[in-house]
Amino acid sequence: MSKIISDNKIPEVITELESMHPEAACALDHGTRFQLLVAVMLSAQTTDVSVNKVTPALFDKYPTAEAMAKADPLDIQEIIKTIGLYKNKAKNVVGLSKILTENYGGEVPGDYEELVKLPGVGRKTANVVLAEGFGKARIAVDTHVFRVANRIGLADGKDPAEVEETLMARLPEDQWIRAHHLLIFHGRKVCHARKPDCAGCGLKGMCVYFEENHGSAW
């Protein structure tokens, strides 16, 4: 059986995801592009809920790149110590803030190549910032998007970059940002990593994973 669905079925999948998750949106609290960048970087290997618990105090004390650039990493550690990899993240937050202050006037660059030069900023973080902060059409592939896109059959990729490339090729550009949010919410709420709720999923008649495991086809 094919591990990928046909192109003409994709609109139906997106429509159903939209029906299931109309509230899908960026779940990280932020007020500026700088705060968005920091929040996304902090969310690596940590839940958005956990990040949202520490960023109010962090952004209250250090709301801008200029302020964060002057911070002691140990103080940042103390504020964000409940999230994963907090020591390294504290170092990176201060480091990227110094670069933004010195090279970009404290502003976040709207260019992918410039973003990924910043400490702690990888492909996913850069794409989220470009999509959410600048409205640029991007698909950021995190663990949820990677898992769900492969399971449904929107992609059949071995790594996030391959899934990203496939999704961009198969989805209209004006749907990229929305599809990113829909796939994340579906992964969080229904298509869980260890035990997906296939019985309660609206995609069960159009999903490769469901067909392989439950015998239902298109």
Which amino acids are annotated catalytic? Answer: 124, 142
DSSP string covering 135-185, please? --------HHHHHHHHHHTS---SSHHHHHHHHHHHS-GGGHHHHHHHHHH
- What is the 3-class SS of 59-94, one letter each residue? HHHCCCHHHHHCCCHHHHHHHHCCCCCHHHHHHHHH
Whole-number Å distance between alpha carbons of 24 and 216: 27
